[in-house]
Structure 1
Amino acid sequence: MKGTTTALLGVRHHGPGSARAVGAALAQFRPDVVLIEGPPEADALLPLAASKEMTPPVALLAHVVDEPARAAFWPFAAFSPEWVALRYALDAEVPVRFIDLPAAHTFALAAQAEAARDSVSSDDGAEGDADECDADEDAHEGEERHAARFDPIAELARAAGQEDAERWWDDVVEHVGHQARGSGDGSDVGPDVGAVPGAAGARAAPDAMAPFQALATAMTVLREQAPEVPEDARREAYMRKQIRAASRAGHQRIAVVCGAWHVPALSAKVSVAADNALLRGLPKAAVEVTWVPWTHRRLSQHTGYGAGIASPGWYQHLFESGGRHVVERWFTRMAALLREEDHPVSSAHVIEAVRLAETLAAVRGRPLAGLTETTDAARAVLCDGSDVPLRLIEDRLIVGDALGQVPEAAPAVPLQRDLTRLQRSLRLKPEARVRVLELDLRKDLDAERSRLLHRLALLGIDWAVPTASQTRSTGTFRESWELAWEPELAVRVAEAGVWGTTVEAAASTRTASRAVEARKLADVTALAERCLLARLPEALPIVLRCLSDRAALDTDVAHLAEALPALVRSLRYGDVRATGTALLAELADSLATRVCIGLPAAAAALDPAAAQPLAEQVAATHAAIGLLAAARAGEDRSPADAGAGAGRGSDARADAGADGVQARWEACLRTLVARETAAAVVRGRAARLLLDDGRLPDEEAARLLGLALTPGVPPAEGAAWVDGFLAGSGVLLVHDQRLLRLVDEWITAIPAAAFPDVLPLLRRTFSRLETGVRRGVGELIRAGGRDVAAGAPGEAPRGFATELDTAQAGPALATVRLILGTLSISEK
């Protein structure tokens, strides 16, 4: 319209130089409306950016209502030009709107294109038409790939004679206005940092619009060489439509902040009819938008709208420094970080690093020591040439672990609000930095934290992942987690919102649904274990019913053996989690009985590929049945039975129940050892388990070892038996003199004629042992042969006495009692 002035401010997303330039241009232009490239659905949320609770980096999250997984982010850092423009408009009380193509169209178009690709790929008829469609699609995709590869910044850098596009951009844009040594009185602030007409100062304020005009001219030339992308054409048509709407609304001074690539298209003379034709009939999807926290680490990755900057922490520093002592402050921050990590860094180091960085910049012809120069100087001076502390600087400073914050008034699904409430009540603040959380489940707070983390894991919200405990505790009352909040978790929370409005309700519903849908017994067993960990009383009966049904119908012994260990482990959680496990115990007992009955037949006529996993399952089942026997013994000794009237009888019943489980399993192992049709590796593993439990005499174990490689046994079968027998020995061969003696006597008894055929098989078996174990075994044998392992006739093995030496054991026993708190005063 007549009298309307439009300022097109083309920017580079997440560029501190562009952000400063936008601030200066807006202050000079004084618009009465600000239009920003972004999703119009978020217009109602823009006032929240002025809240004191809003701290960048943040992002706009848009997702399809019925499909939360279809989502997109629009990130904003403090140094993003769009954020500067948004805050300027809100502070100046100027209307501000987003003018990009609505996300409703973007999501629908993406779904439409995906459906079209699937349709073409699945169409087997009309080969000629399909080939033509494929050719058209390939050509279109080729254009899009070429457009994606076309980097305007790189083209401008090459035109300027520079190969490094990022370095060129930093020199001509990001470092403009900064000086290596500022005076500190503000005189070193460049013309694009806020100099406006009428500002006080000795220097005349330059035209803040000039850089944008020069950039627009350059982009106009570049766009003449680049292919047109339909998506860009639709977006630019919508932007032009919104600019016209602002003019018709009576605005006289319109400021448009958008990517510099779009400026030529927005300034071009295009008819209203042509734009309407591009936008007519576009599909739409129901979309919801909200603010979510973002991180500098996510800004450094090439996912998300406008992201992909390599050094957000450095850019944040450039933006916050205001052009004063940029390099000095940067090295001071490095020194503080290194001191926190106990690296010896003094002020002299900082001074020397600043000098070196400035010298490098002068030699390389740069206006300011940039990230490359400061990093090189830090490596040489602060890090003594080592890359180890430098990686800490890169992780904590150059990239950074800043996590934004959004106001409580921002829209959120009910599940997100419940999660936020739980995070506050349990004092689990989301942080971008990875941290380890050690939990003691005997404490109420830690138990509640554990339940929350397990419930989130069941919902697929991987805020925390289990890790090995740093305390090296094997008790069930200890847990260790690694926590790190990622922005994408907001999408997963929105997805999980369909299962319930609270974390507990959603986890219960989701777990029950997965149990019903599961087809494998092991999957349902794993769900039962996780359900107990998460303490989901509403889901547990459904999971256990599904578990009982699957166990009753599954006749595969391998499946039953695979499911039993997880089921038995679940019984251990009853004490520290106050969870009833009576039904689990019955199911575990039933599974153990069925495994004992069916395992010998299942181990017959197996090829090596199937026999090895079954041998591992036999070992896991052996450990599980040991836990099951202990759990059953503990159940049978109820508090009522502990009274004077029922003590001996209850103990007898408990021992009978425990012995019954173990007796069935021992009989199964003996059957496996004796059955020649069973796989050799399974027979060897069964013999070893019986030997470890003291259920197999040494003489019998030696006899079985001798039979393993007799001439009548195929070498491969004999090697498999020995492999199963020695599997998992590890340091046990060094410390278990009995086992070492058996192996040594067996090897030395091998006939000389058969030894060359046996040797390769022995090398394969022993090569699986750790290097230190092999060396220790060799030293024991070399030092004294079999006498080292067995001792002289009538004597105990080396390292053992015939009787307990209480005098030598006294100090060790006193230390143990001191640790346990049972040491008497006299002993102290």
Structure 2
Amino acid sequence: MTDRPLLLGVRHHGPGSARSVRAALEAHRPAVVLVEGPPEADDIVSLAADPAMSPPVALLAHAVNDSGRSAFWPLAAFSPEWVAIRWALDHDVPVRFVDLPAAHSLAPRDEAAPGAADAPAPESEGAPAADADGAEEPAGNDTAADPADPADHRLRRDPLAALAAAAGHDDPERWWEDVVEHRAGGDDPVAPFAAVEEAMTELRAAGPATGDDRDLVREAHMRLRLREAVKEFGAGSVAVVCGAWHVPALRERRTVAADRALLRGLPKVRTEITWVPWTHRRLGRAHGYGAGIESPGWYGHLYSAADRPVARWMTKVAGLLRDEGVPISSAHVIEAVRLAETLAAMRGRPLAGLGETIDAVRAVMCDGADVPLDLVVDRLVVGDVLGEVPDSAPAVPLQRDLTAQQRRLRLKPEAEERALDLDLRKDNDAARSRLLYRLRLLGVPWATPAGGTSTGTFRESWRLAWEPELAVRVAESGIWGTTVESAAAARARADADAADSLAALTTLAELCLLAGLGEALPTVMGALADRAALDTDVAGLAAALPALVRSARYGDVRSTGTEELTRVAHGLAERVCVGLPAACTGLDDDGAAAMRHHVESTHAAIALLDEDGLRDRWRGTLRRLARRDTVPAVLRGRAARFLLDEGVLAEDEADRLIGLELSPAVPPARAAGWIEGFLAGGGLLLVHDERLLGLIDAWLAAVPADSFTDVLPLLRRSFGSFEPGVRRSVGELVRRSPGAETGGSATAPTPGFGDRTDPERADAALPVLRLLLGPEFPGHDAARAVPPATEHPSPADDPIGAPA
């Protein structure tokens, strides 16, 4: 081998290949190491030796003028390429990348250009290339082939399957584990590479040749870089680490002119490249990576475990299950190891592999259950290990500012999803909230709002999970500014100019307030005012109102000015009050359901504005909705319920309205729709208002049999939304009603409940409520003093303690 380059054909992300590469490099001590990868990374490869660099990491290349056109080259600790890079850096040996430059692979395809037919290009313009198995598709992978692919493509995409089939195995993954990953070291460290090269040579010879294979272009560039290294260092001093599929092509004798002809005329773009953190989970096939593996966590363990890998693995599994509350003892570990080794012997395998360990864990530690086993697979077999890159790695200014803020606010990016609760009264938490909202404005979804139980305006809940692709999003957002704040403000202004709906503008205004982007708010508010003045769609106005009111109501929590927001919100609310009755006329079922949502959100928004004149106008609008026959029944019922809850619907008027809607002259389906709208606010009203329950019960008992099946779905939807306790209480009241035994219905009050509101009994609770709720409760000054205990009436005289 001293008169030829040392070609080490590997399987990407294979721990067995990684160990063999290290052994071969130690034995031959080359003067230069060539690695499959983009040559633009030659200037930053030295960062791999930085103590702050921790795999898994990836090389990220992107077009300068189109950051969305990008590609990743992931490397884990057990990747042969990473091992080769670290060996070279540790021994002061030059490292060079020899694959096709990213400047060509990321360029848009130009069919008219010479050589364009052979030029590799991303799968779709603007989409990640390598991560989607596009421009930089690693070789020697075991991705499942598509039966619709031509024969040469199937062979190219899955050469291991062909080798496994030739060896009589139906599982390429298991075959590769047996012959490579579990192979003990031999006397000649180069022997396995020679065997793989011979096998790949036969496979390539058996496959049909194609003139448009992009590999031809990549391999031509590899040969040119190899010739340069041989001329500089000598053939015997050069080592090449690349996908096993490419090794025969690098041995092939081709003229320099022929290789240069393949590269002539390739499209080219200006690119930037850097290191970014990666995760074990992103190495998996499930995420679309062409050279993905099913078990990165398991492979990492095989590479790091110097001896007794199965026993050490079972110990990890036992620790995980113990942390999750599963009772696991050392006896479980011993028995699981024995079972895994026994299964391997029965199956004729040199060492217990992943299949045997999974079977042993399921049987011994999980008692045959799949739920704890799924946890083991997710946490250990795949894993969420997140790599780190040093601060000295090249990055766009926006990324540097984001990194500095993450460090200052103690928001470390983590691959595993975690919850974050913020108290906006604290300066650090308020700054965290602003950062997360600014990133959402930039389209970097590192955090998503999580629904919480707290209704306070000073609390926020988030779910955080950092994905490697977010580095691309940050790079894309670099066109908006050099800091997160300036970039978010510029993006907000651009979005305001491009917004096509009033709701989009109000949402954008709310985000600007939440993100603390005061400099962008005037632009957004100007666009919002212009759009609101011209918009005549009542549904659009109603959809835009809630976000605007929330911003105006709660902006003071973040010390932001809201006067302009309040003014615009009042204008929108006024226009909704005027136009809503006409907009609700003649709607079909789908339109009525959508408009009901708008009515509910508008009602809540106007309540937050807390302006008496506006609330009075809104109540007038609700009265018109409740009484207009052309309005769908569900909307009339909803409006009536709002009026009843507001206390502006007198009891006699409510009785008359309910009686009219549930009279025998009203079609059952229409009456059921009214009940659905009326009861949508909750069924507790039926528990405390015996009159209403009696009316609905009487109406339901009078529904004709041929119409009952038509109204039943509406009734089930209405009553099914009640809390279980409310449903039980309503059922108990109906059971105890005077007409229950005879199957009839009656409106007489049930024992234990009054038929009307008793103001005297209600007033008896006011002093305690005023004392509890404080000065904001109406009439507080008139009832500060609580009568002394000696003056309390006896239970027999006390209207609160008296029997109902």
TM-score (norm 2): 0.86
Aligned to 2:694: 744
Distance 1:389 1:397, change over 3 A: same
Q: Choose from 167, 178, 183 the match for 1:176.
A: 183
Query: Secondary structure of the residue that 2:425 maps to in structure 1?
Result: coil
1:175 to 1:749, Cα distance in 2 relative to 1, 3 A: closer
| CA distance, structure 1, for counterparts of residue 409 and residue 32 of structure 2 | 44
1:209 aligns with 2:190: yes
Q: Distance in 1 between matches of 2:697 and 2:153?
A: 68
Residue equivalent to 1:391: 374
Match of 1:357 among 335, 340, 347: 340
Partner of 2:250: 266
Alignment gaps of 5+ in structure 2: 122-145, 741-745, 775-785, 790-804
Q: Which residue of 2 aligns with 1:732?
A: 684
Q: In percent, how many aligned pairs have the same letter? A: 59
| 2:108–2:267 CA contact under 8 A, matched in 1 | yes
Q: Please, which of 447, 454, 458 is the counterpart of residue 430 of structure 2?
A: 447
Which residue of 1 is the match for residue 551 of structure 2? Answer: 570
Structure 2 partner of 1:664 = 617
Q: Measure how far apart 1:93 and its partner are.
A: 1.1
2:234 alignment partner AA: H
C-alpha spacing 1:6/1:708, structure 2 compared with 1 (3 Å): same
Q: 1:14 to 1:717 in 2, by over 3 A?
A: same
What's the counterpart of residue 86 of structure 2? Answer: 87
- 1: CA distance between counterparts of 2:772 and 2:337? 55
Residue of structure 1 equivalent to 2:642: 689
Q: Match for 1:601: what amino acid?
A: A
1:73-152 to 2 correspondences below 5 Å: 73-108=72-107, 110=109, 142-143=149-150, 146-147=153-154, 150-152=157-159
Matching of residue 781 in structure 1 with residue 780 in structure 2 = no
Aligned to 2:141: none
1:367 CA drift (Å): 1.2
8 A Cα contact 1:154 1:164, kept in partner: yes
Shift of the alpha carbon at 1:813?
Answer: 12
* Contact 1:685–1:724 under 8 Å retained in 2: yes
Give a deviation string over 1:63-86, Cα, whole Å, max 9, x none. Answer: 011000000000000000000111
- Aligned 8 A contact 1:795 1:802 in 2: no
Q: 1:465 is matched with which residue: 448, 460, 472?
A: 448
Distance 1:111 1:50 in 2: 39
Which secondary structure does the structure 2 equivalent of 1:5 belong to? coil
CA gap of 1:750–1:23, structure 2 versus 1, over 3 A, is: closer
- SS at 2:107's partner residue? helix
- Structure 1 moving runs of 4+ over 6 Å: 113-118, 786-790, 797-802, 804-807, 812-817
Q: In the alignment, which residue of structure 2 is the partner of 1:239?
A: 222
The 1-side partners of 2:770 and 2:429 are apart by 33
Q: 1:595 and 1:790, CA in 2 relative to 1: closer, same or farther beyond 3 A? A: farther
Match of 2:33 in 1: 34
1:22 aligns to what? 21
Bigger mean CA offset, 676-685 vs 20-29 = 676-685
Deviations, residues 154-197 of structure 1 (Å, cap 9, x unaligned):
111111111111111111111112xxxxxxxxxxxx33xxxxxx
Change (3 A) 1:28 1:695: same
SS in 2 for 1:784: coil
Shift of residue 723 of structure 1? 2.6
Q: Deviations over 1:265-293 (max 9, x none)?
A: 11112222221221111111111100001
Number of the residue aligned with 1:604: 585
**1:142 Cα deviation after fit:** 4.8
Is structure 2 residue 311 aligned with structure 1 residue 328? Answer: yes
Residues 398 and 483, structure 2, Cα contact 8 Å, conserved in 1: yes
- 1:102-155 deviation digits (Å, cap 9, x = unpaired): 11111125476999999xxxxxxxxxxxxxxxxxxxx9x954993477411111
Checking the alignment, whether the CA contact within 8 Å between 1:4 and 1:247 is kept in structure 2 is: no
Work out whether residues 662 and 696 of structure 2, in 8 Å CA contact, stay in contact via their aligned partners in 1.
Answer: no
Q: What is the 5 A alignment of 1:384-463?
A: 384-463=367-446
Report SS of the residue matched to 2:44. Answer: helix
Tell me, yes or no, if structure 1 residue 544 matches structure 2 residue 495: no
Please give the alpha-carbon distance, in whole angstroms, between the structure 2 residues aligned to 1:30 and 1:342.
50
Alignment of 1:67 onto 2:69 = no
How far the C-alpha of 1:45 sits from its partner, in A, is 0.7
Aligned to 1:699: 652
Query: In structure 1, what is the equivalent of residue 573 of structure 2?
Result: 592
1:388-426: CA deviation from partner (whole Å, max 9, x where unpaired) = 222222122111111111111111000000000000000
Alpha-carbon deviation of 1:486? 0.5
1:532 partnered with 2:532: no
Give the CA deviation at 1:567. 0.8
Shift of 1:356: 1.5
8 Å CA contact 2:673–2:714 kept in 1: the answer is no
Whether 2:237 is the aligned partner of 1:285: answer no
Post-superposition offset of 1:749: 4.6
Q: Counterpart in 1 of 2:172? A: 165
Post-superposition CA distance 1:28-76 (Å, at most 9, x none): 1211111111000111011111111111100000001100000000000
Give the equivalent residue in structure 1 for 2:137.
none
Deviations 1:525-550 (A, max 9, x none): 00011111111011111111111111
- Which deviates more from structure 2 when the two are superposed, residues 677-686 or residues 776-785? 776-785
- Is 1:248–2:218 an aligned residue pair? no
CA shift in 2, pair 1:515/1:380, >3 Å: same
Distance in 2 of aligned mates of 1:795 and 1:600: 37
**Alpha-carbon offset, residue 342 of structure 1:** 2.5
Instruction: State the shift of 1:498 in Å.
Output: 0.4
Q: Alpha-carbon deviation of 1:583? A: 0.9
Q: Compared with structure 1, are the counterparts of its residues 346 and 721 closer, same or farther at alpha carbon in structure 2 (3 Å cutoff)?
A: same
Shift of 1:444: 0.9
Corresponding residue number in structure 2 for 1:766 = 716
Residues 297 and 112 (structure 1), Cα distance of their counterparts in 2 relative to 1, 3 Å cut: farther
CA 1:73–1:175: 2 relative to 1, 3 Å = same
Q: Distance in 2 between matches of 1:113 and 1:61?
A: 29
Paired residue for 2:802? none
- Deviation for aligned residue 1:607: 2.4
The size of the alignment, in residue pairs, is 737
Deviates more, 1:782-791 or 1:552-561: 782-791
- Pairing 1:156–2:180 present: no
Partner amino acid, structure 2, of 1:221? E
**Structure 2 letter corresponding to 1:430:** P
Q: Compute the displacement of 1:799 (Å).
A: 13
8 Å CA contact retained: 1:61, 1:71:
yes
1:417 counterpart letter in structure 2: R
Q: Is the CA contact (8 Å cut-off) linking 2:733 and 2:750 kept in structure 1?
A: no
Deviations 1:218-247 (A, max 9, x none): 111111233445201111111111111111
Amino acid at match of 1:479: E
CA 677–433 in structure 1, closer or farther in 2 if over 3 Å, else same: same
User: Using a 3 Å threshold, how does the CA distance of structure 1 residues 813 and 714 change in structure 2: closer, same or farther?
Assistant: closer
Give, in whole Å, the separation in 1 of the partners of 2:444 and 2:616: 44
Change (3 A) 1:175 1:486: same
Deviations 1:779-824 (A, max 9, x none): 33113358999745896379999847999x99x999999xxxxxx9
